[in-house]
A and B are shown apart, each in its own frame.
Chain A
């Protein structure tokens, strides 16, 4: 099968060297003890931290893609999303398509007006849902989700899970999902990889 994201001999200050291959439409769960480097792996893949190794997207080497373009295609969504403007729509890509935004908002149960909401008044759960919508507006090929449901109740957690699944199916995109929640792990399914001592391995319980 074609590889969407292919990682070979990835090395950072704390990880690797490690290999990873992800297929289109695939959701790979990343687990590991706290401090094992799950976030560091996602940050290295988004090219936010210095790292070495051969990384390709659809066969295109990362070094041949400008960093700005790379981060739009390989989108990192941190557990705590950052906001810098006054209103939500200031944080969307300048040329965003409105129907697409509405479609995504609907999937995470937010109204159209939420685009004009003030950042100051957002709850942490709203920030997390809007953070995902914002990242999906760039139409990334790979989603790097760092505990994307950490601040959400079960209902909204399931909405996010469904929204990501739907996105992956529609766009033939892939996701790496860092999660601590055992029940969520079962709901999400798919391949599970554990980080231990800077290496990726299949977890002991499978």
Chain B
């Protein structure tokens, strides 16, 4: 591997670019300088921290530590899904629906990929398991958050239509068909777009990273294809599952639309 190590000086130069940009926005009174600097500082601290954690994890490769890391990642992703909802389910459901479906889809796909496709020994080798899980969780999180947000928003907006259909004797599943379809679409669209644009509009980040690290382009491409399919499957099944569970939860056993189970989130 002919990886060129970056010196602190290299990073400082790059940081100066951001500082320069912040300076320009302050000069132009755009009010972005502070946010830029804080976000920049967060990047440095968070990434250094995660780098240290990963280094420690790689040095003490034990299943328990890998599992703990995975659980922490899942917990944070679950919180992110909930926090991005304008209208979310009250109580534990608000956190539970996203987290559980993410656990089922992202973890299942990661374990499947590790045991059957990538095949490191042991299968939970942190160098493979953690980045793979991270990419899957990150994308599944976005898909589920978009899907759930769209579902609750459209159901709220279209409640008269839904109740009109219920009043005509339609089952709950029929009354929310269009909202469900729209929600699944909006959750899956980013992934479908990414697959369609891959390599033409953008060089995917993971592939770029591997090439920079000295991997032969064809090897990097093979990994990228694998990852894209895994992400699509994870995001897709996760979003479909979350939208299904959430739409079921919007109706009770007598198939009544229960908008009282939703509450306004922080952006509403």
A residues near B (Cβ < 8 Å) are 46-50, 67-69, 71-72, 75-78, 80-84, 91, 93, 134-135, 138
Contact = CB atoms under 8 A, between A and B. Distances in A.
Contacts of B256: 47-50, 67
B257 A48 contact: yes
25 contacts: A46-B167, A48-B166, A48-B256, A50-B256, A68-B169, A68-B170, A68-B255, A69-B169, A71-B167, A71-B168, A71-B169, A72-B168, A72-B169, A75-B167, A78-B163, A78-B164, A78-B167, A81-B164, A82-B161, A82-B163, A82-B164, A83-B164, A84-B178, A93-B169, A138-B169
A82 B255 contact: no
Given A138-B168, A138-B169, A67 B163 contact: no
B163 to A, nearest CB: 6
B168 A135 contact: yes
A69 B171 CA distance: 9
Contacts of B29: none
B163 A48 contact: yes
A124 to B, nearest CB: 14
A175 to B, nearest CB: 15
Contact of B167 (A48, A50, A83, A84): A48
Contacts of B254: 47, 67
Contacts of B163: 48, 78, 82
B253 to A, nearest CB: 8
Contacts of B160: 78, 80, 82
B263 interface: no
Q: Which 8 A-B residue pairings sit nearest by Cβ, starting from the closest?
A: A82-B164, A72-B169, A67-B255, A76-B167, A82-B161, A67-B254, A82-B160, A84-B161
A82 B168 CA distance: 10
A69 B165 CA distance: 13
Given A69-B169, A75-B167, A135-B168, 6 more contacts: A47-B254, A47-B256, A75-B168, A78-B163, A78-B164, A80-B160
B182 interface: no
Nearest to A92: B168
B168 A134 contact: yes
